[in-house]
Amino acid sequence: MTYELSDTPEASLDAHGPARHARRPGWNKVPEVTVYFWIIKVLCTTVGETAADLLNEKAGLGLTGVSLLMSALLAVVLVVQFRTAAYRAGVYWLAVALISVVGTLISDNLTDNMGVPLETSTTVFAIVLAVVFAVWYRRERTLSIHSIDTRSRESYYWLAVLFTFALGTAAGDLVSERMDLGYWLSAVLFALAIAAVGVAHFALGLDAVWSFWIAYILTRPLGASIGDYLSQPTGDGGLGFGTVVTSVLFLAVILGLVVYLSITRKDVAGRASVTRQTA
């Protein structure tokens, strides 16, 4: 799913017609949805799983303490993100990586500290996310990420992203525990689900906006399954690389890709359309 388009004629005009110039062209605060986007997204979700486990094991703060620390760091980075005038790859993906960790910790706190069943947390997160989307659409008339060009839309966007991570964590754990597939088969299952969404979009005409958000949610348990498969001991069905090695490896790849995109700006939203308009 390389492109995620608007779901309303009004927003489509905003992206392709004269109205675009009235909404500060080039100010969109999120990247273009390319193959780089999905690769880094999956890597961030993997880091979210392994880094949360690593911090919980090594920091000595307990699950609650780690949650508070990472939430504070996320708040600082989001302040920086909101204050930037346009999309900046480094700031954006740092926010995604931190929100991945925080989303994982929210779900883990509910399950491990409060004893909330995964069925309950999955249902609650799904309802909250649906409410966020409903309010976002009611207020803005679009859920398209090609029009994150106001403070209001950016706020809804990051709120939705947070709950996609929390929902993906809870749903992924629920599937893994109930079906007892193991890490590798769980990763294959979620990869097939994402592929099915792609087929539904490109071959069957599933709306691009909903295709994007469904795939976005599914990449969370996919990344978590990959992270667990690499980091967990062989006796538990993993490869035994450990959380430190896995986290550092994936962070290094993320950093390399973000530096590349910062230089080439291949993921700047509107870049392709602007080129076509001027050609």
- Which pLDDT score is estimated for 1? 55
DSSP label of 2: -
Q: Do residues 190 and 130 touch, judged by C-beta distance below 8 A?
A: no
Predicted local distance difference test score (pLDDT) of residue 63: 78
What pLDDT, on a 0 to 100 scale, did the predictor assign at position 6? 40
User: What local confidence, expressed as pLDDT, does residue 101 receive?
Assistant: 87
b/e for 193-223, b at 16 or more Cβ within 10 A?
bbeebeeebeeeebebbbbbbbbbbbbbbbb
End-to-end CA distance of the chain: 25
| Cα–Cα distance, 123 to 126 (Å, whole number) | 5
Q: The whole model's pTM is what?
A: 0.84
Other residues' Cβ atoms within 10 Å of the Cβ of residue 117: 12
Give the chain's residues under pLDDT 70: 1-26, 59, 269-279
Write down the pLDDT at residue 14: 38
252: which residues sit within 8 A by CB, 6+ positions away?
none
